[in-house]
Amino acid sequence: MTRIARYGKFVAHDGRAQELAEILLDAAAKLDADPGCELYLINRQADAPDVIWVTEIWRSEADLKASLRQVSGSPEAAAAMRLVRSAEMIELDLLGGSGLPAPGPATP
């Protein structure tokens, strides 16, 4: 099993970052019930208030893809994307670190 780690960088339209953050924070709260999502953090860049970063760790690629299928085309995803001027997703090779839970079983 290979965990998936990602950073998402979202640049909101001027003055819309708080709205975007609220939508993403709501999504994060819903992911508490998803055993495949090990970490989903929402951050605002300190020196660039229109930039929102999302830090994600998923138990497996299958778990990430299942979550993406659930939100794809949803009203919440559409509302968030209307607030975004640009977006970038950075895929990472997860090496480990403090606070990371022990790997759980992968989903089929």
Name the DSSP class of 70.
H
The architecture that CATH gives domain 4-92 is 2-Layer Sandwich (3.30)
Q: What is the pLDDT of residues 76-108, one digit of tens each?
A: 999 999 999 999 999 999 988 888 777 765 555
Nearest to 101 by CA among 59, 72, 73, 71: 59
Helix (H) / strand (E) containing 27: helix 17-31
Burial class (CB in 10 A: 0-12, 13-18, 19+), 8: middle
Q: What is the pTM of this model?
A: 0.88
Q: What is d(CA 47, CA 57) in angstroms, rounded to the nearest whole number?
A: 25
Q: Structural domain boundaries of the chain?
A: 4-92
Mean per-residue pLDDT, 19-42: 95
Residue tagged 């780690």 (tokens): 5
